[in-house]
Structure 1
Amino acid sequence: MLNCLVVDDSKVIRKVARHILESLNLKVDEAADGREALEMCDAKLPDVVLLDWNMPVMSGLDFLKELSRRDLPQPPKVIFCTTENGVDHIRAAVDAGADEYVMKPFDRDTLESKLQIVGIL
């Protein structure tokens, strides 16, 4: 079973994402900010990360930059999941290593489609 790490400071978003991802047969772990997510990745690398942009302690973009510095042999797929929809934000996310980008609010079909695009489903 593949593993997804949901990184979002909103407990509600994490709960909704967990429900959708588990219905797609993924094992789900949660982190409330980028620093916690990095610690979890250092302990056990997930197959995919669903990543919020704006979080306290460490933003999603800073998390992604730090993760890419680790020179991992098989880095996780990263899907940014955020309300930030400007072209500059999307370009910054992709430049930092994001594989896909989804806007909040999202539904099961949208998330399933993005997971298929990155090769997780």
Structure 2
Amino acid sequence: MADLCKRCEKKGCDAEITFALSSSTRKPLPLDRYPDPGRGTVRKVLTREHGEEVVYGQVLHGTALHTAVANGEQLYVIHFNTCLANRPLNPMPAHLRSAFSRPSTRPSRRRFR
């Protein structure tokens, strides 16, 4: 599984993504195509298994993540975090959300028994 690139197939996204095998589960891990030094948390590791190249993705946390950032490593973002298909289409502005959340001043027509 060499560096395979394709486009996200979710409606409204169409971003370029690449895949790596998760180092813990060995399942395909979709990553953004290019490294992001500010938000990246996944390190790509290229290894050779049974005569072919395999790309593993190590998700870094805590001290390992801080060390990788300090060393200037190229870290990738898991595509789910940046996929445009996961974003709300038209979020309600904050000033309207607060206006709708206020209790009404009209008397209620509900009858409680």
Bigger share in strand: 2
**TM-score normalised per structure 1:** 0.26
Q: Which has the higher helix share?
A: 1
Q: Give the TM-score normalised by the residue count of structure 2.
A: 0.28
Larger radius of gyration: 2
